Chains A and B, each alone.
Chain A
Amino acid sequence: DAKTTQPNSMESNEEEPVHLPCNHSTISGTDYIHWYRQLPSQGPEYVIHGLTSNVNNRMASLAIAEDRKSSTLILHRATLRDAAVYYCILRDVISTGNQFYFGTGTSLTVIP
C-alpha cells in the first residue's frame, strides 16, 4: 500500500474548525483513503473514508484533492473529546485482505 505523510502534531482551539492534512503522492487509482483516530487509552476507531469525491458524515468531512495526492480531514467544531491521534491510511480496494498499515499519525491537542 502507498505511503502517507502527516504532521506529527497540531493544536486547535475548542469550538474552532480543524484541518488535518495528509499527503499521499504515490496513491494509485484503486487506493481508498481512510481516517481512523485513537483517543487516549483506547483502540483506534473509524472516522471517515473516500475515494475521489469529498465525503461528509456526522463526525467529520473529508476533502480530497482533484489529483488525489493529498486529502484533508475537517473537524467542523473541535471539542475536547476530539483530542486524539488521527491516522490517514491508504488501502488498495483490490487487495484480498482488509489489513491496515498505520503510520505515525497526527496528535491533535484541543485547547479549552
Chain B
Amino acid sequence: DAGVIQSPRHEVTEMGQEVTLRCKPISGHDYLFWYRQTMMRGLELLIYFNNNVPIDDSGMPEDRFSAKMPNASFSTLKIQPSEPRDSAVYFCASSLGGGGAYNEQFFGPGTRLTVL
C-alpha cells in the first residue's frame, strides 16, 4: 500500500483565495483525521471522520474551514477565504477501527500551506 496520500505537497496562495487540500486514506481504513501543525500551537486535531461521517469537528477554527469525505477513499479540507494565519502544515491520517482496542494512526506527508 502507498500509505496516506496528500496533495498538493506545497501550496502558496494569496489572502482571500480558496484553498483545497486533498487526502486519500489507506484502503480499508474507516477513520480519517485532519491535523494542523504550527510552531505556535503544535499539532492540533481539526476534525475526524468515521465511515465517511464527520464525528467531531470541534477543532475546526472557524467557518472558513470545511471538510468533506464523499467516499471512503477521498477527503478534502477547504479554506475559503484563506488568511495569512492559516499558513501551516496540514496532515491527514487514517486508522482501522476506533475505540476500545488500540488502532495505530498512519500519517500522510503533509501539505505545507503558505498564504501571502
Chain B, residue nearest A97 (CB) = B98
> Contact between B91 and A43 (Cβ–Cβ < 8 Å)?
yes
Question: What's the least CB distance linking B25 to chain A, in Å?
Answer: 13
**Total number of B residues with any Cβ neighbor in A under 8 Å:** 29
Chain A, residue nearest B97 (CB) = A98
Interface contact tally, CB-CB below 8 A? 63
> Contact between B100 and A93 (Cβ–Cβ < 8 Å)?
yes
> Contact between A97 and B42 (Cβ–Cβ < 8 Å)?
no
- In angstroms, Cα B110 to Cα A45, docked, is 13
Question: What's the least CB distance linking A11 to chain B, in Å?
Answer: 21
Given contacts A44-B43, A46-B105, A100-B45, 12 further A-B contacts (CB under 8 A): A42-B107, A43-B107, A44-B107, A87-B43, A97-B50, A97-B98, A98-B98, A98-B103, A98-B105, A99-B33, A102-B35, A102-B44
